[in-house]
């Protein structure tokens, strides 16, 4: 919280140093898009002392959907936990598989959560994060390993997904290219990045098995996430199976709604609440028990929900100061004098920087690609390579972006402080970026099309 507030104060100071400027925008298909070549400075709009603090309630107002999906997923998890289904399901799973295969389980779960990120999305997976926490602790791991398995894999899978509708889809729409074309190279990069993450997860797991005192989550409360009985005693009751199938059916309906009816955060939150109520009724909980479980669950995830609002206030402060467009414009202008390969890598690097100021993938695409696509044409880059440079810059840095509400929310579900997460994930980010930039250089070398 202190770190996020510090970034907010830094943003306020930057508003006095960076000129205010905006691009003209037009509404096309209901979405606001930048008009290339329209950037112009405006009268300075630095943040006053009061404005800096007004950005905080503004951030909460802007992040209401994500804040509530955190609360609703916490309520659902709390209700499923109260029913006994989650503990019995995880205990039975680990018992059946055997602890001796736990290294294989870590690898498989990393790829599983990565696939959830690729095909299902980002915030859609918030409710599944605590399952990784319980499984990791049951295997003898810790909460940091749980975050690496789930938060890291979902973020990598979503960020480098060959079918990401927010980055690749928006980019292909703006570039008037076949939707999700060039998927094979993107899939190779995505699976390669998940392999890097699986290796780091496995290495960390082996280290804490051998030396538990080196765990990065020592001292973090694990109450409610640990198995309470010996492993051999776990079994699924009929009621547990009913609750499990209610959960699975609810998730299937949610995913059908996402892909068929274009449901988003609010509809997902509504489904989580429905699943919570059904689980309570199937478990024959009284109204009092359901109410008390709901409030206890809200108390557990409330700090994470608060962090989402505080993180979003940084984006709101940037918008109030009108410096986001200035940063995007100046970064893009600096690419014009570079050689071809260097310009592609610098374009991706500039998107890494912009991502901290415009954390929304689709928002960043709409704000920067109308500038980057024509610039790439002038430099001799294919539009496919320009979009890949954008996707890498946005997707990989999502792993360390404190202004990304979804990342903060997921880490909160694993109870992992952001500073400790940086210590764990920074080497992964460096290696994945290096691998992705090699892939980007290959795309330039082969003149990757369609142009």
Instruction: Give tens-digit pLDDT for 29-39.
Output: 766 777 877 88
Report pTM: 0.81
CA pair distance 179, 182, nearest whole angstrom: 9
| pLDDT in the model for residue 312 | 86
Phi, psi of 226 (to 5 degrees): -100, 150
Q: What is the pLDDT of residues 300-351, one digit of tens each?
A: 888 888 888 888 898 899 889 999 888 888 877 888 778 889 999 999 999 9
**What is d(CA 420, CA 285) in angstroms, rounded to the nearest whole number?**
38
Q: How far apart are CA 56 and CA 47, in angstroms?
A: 13
Using only C-alpha atoms, what is the Rg of the chain?
22
Element (H, E) at 442: helix 418-445
Q: Can you give the pLDDT at residue 251?
A: 86
Write out the H or E segment, with its range, that includes residue 366. Answer: helix 361-379
What pLDDT shows up at residue 23? 86
Q: For each of the chain's 451 residues, which pLDDT tens digit applies?
A: 888 899 899 999 999 999 999 988 888 776 677 787 788 999 999 999 999 999 999 999 988 988 898 899 889 989 998 999 988 988 898 888 877 789 999 999 999 999 989 987 787 788 889 989 999 999 999 999 999 999 999 999 999 999 888 888 888 888 888 888 889 999 999 999 999 999 999 999 999 999 999 999 999 999 888 888 887 888 999 999 999 999 999 989 988 887 788 887 889 899 999 999 999 999 999 999 999 999 999 998 888 888 888 888 988 998 899 998 888 888 778 887 788 899 999 999 999 998 988 888 887 888 788 888 888 887 889 999 999 999 999 999 999 998 888 899 899 889 999 999 999 999 999 999 999 999 999 999 999 987 5
Rounded-to-integer distance, Cα 414 and Cα 288, Å:
28
The whole-number pLDDT of residue 451 equals 56
Phi, psi of 70 (to 5 degrees): -65, -45
Dihedrals phi, psi of 26, to nearest 5 degrees: -135, 155
């Amino acid at each position: 919280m202190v770190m996020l507030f510090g970034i907010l104060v830094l943003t306020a100071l930057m508003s006095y140093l960076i000129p205010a400027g905006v691009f003209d925008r037009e509404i096309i298909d209901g979405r606001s898009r930048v008009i290339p070549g329209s950037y112009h400075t405006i009268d300075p709009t630095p943040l006053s002392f009061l404005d800096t603090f007004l950005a905080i309630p503004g951030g909460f107002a802007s992040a209401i959907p994500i804040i509530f999906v955190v609360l609703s997923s916490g309520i659902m998890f709390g209700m499923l936990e109260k029913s006994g289904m989650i503990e019995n399901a995880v205990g039975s799973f680990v018992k059946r598989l055997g602890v001796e295969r736990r290294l294989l389980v870590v690898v498989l779960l990393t790829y599983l959560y990565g696939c959830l990120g690729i095909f299902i999305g980002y915030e859609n997976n918030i409710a599944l994060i605590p399952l990784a926490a319980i499984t990791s602790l049951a295997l003898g791991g810790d909460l940091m390993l749980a975050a690496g398995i789930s938060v890291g894999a979902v973020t990598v899978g979503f960020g480098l997904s060959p079918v990401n509708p927010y980055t690749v889809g928006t980019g292909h729409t703006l570039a008037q290219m076949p939707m999700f074309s060039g998927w094979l190279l993107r899939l190779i990069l995505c699976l390669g990045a998940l392999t890097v993450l699986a290796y780091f997860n496995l290495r960390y797991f082996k280290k804490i098995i051998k030396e538990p005192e080196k765990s990065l989550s020592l001292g973090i409360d694990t109450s409610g996430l640990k198995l309470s009985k010996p492993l051999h005693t776990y079994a699924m009751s009929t009621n547990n199976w009913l609750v499990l199938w209610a959960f699975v059916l609810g998730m299937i309906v949610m995913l059908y709604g996402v892909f068929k009816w274009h449901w988003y955060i609010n509809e997902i939150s509504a489904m989580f609440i429905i699943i919570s109520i059904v689980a309570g009724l199937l478990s024959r909980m009284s109204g009092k028990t359901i109410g008390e479980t709901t409030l206890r669950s809200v108390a557990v995830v409330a700090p994470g929900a608060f962090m989402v609002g505080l993180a979003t206030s940084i984006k709101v402060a940037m918008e109030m100061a009108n410096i986001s467009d200035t940063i995007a414009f100046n970064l893009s202008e600096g690419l014009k004098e570079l050689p071809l390969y260097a310009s592609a890598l610098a374009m991706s690097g500039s998107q890494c920087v912009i991502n901290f100021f415009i954390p929304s993938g689709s928002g960043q695409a709409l704000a920067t690609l109308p500038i980057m696509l024509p610039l790439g044409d002038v430099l001799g880059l294919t539009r496919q390579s320009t979009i890949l440079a954008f996707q890498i810059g946005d997707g990989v840095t999502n792993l360390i972006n404190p202004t990304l509400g979804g990342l903060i929310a997921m880490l909160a579900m694993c109870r992992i402080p952001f500073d400790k997460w940086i210590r764990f994930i920074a080497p992964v980010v460096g290696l994945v970026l290096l691998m992705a930039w090699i892939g980007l250089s290959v795309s330039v070398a082969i003149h990757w099309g369609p142009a």
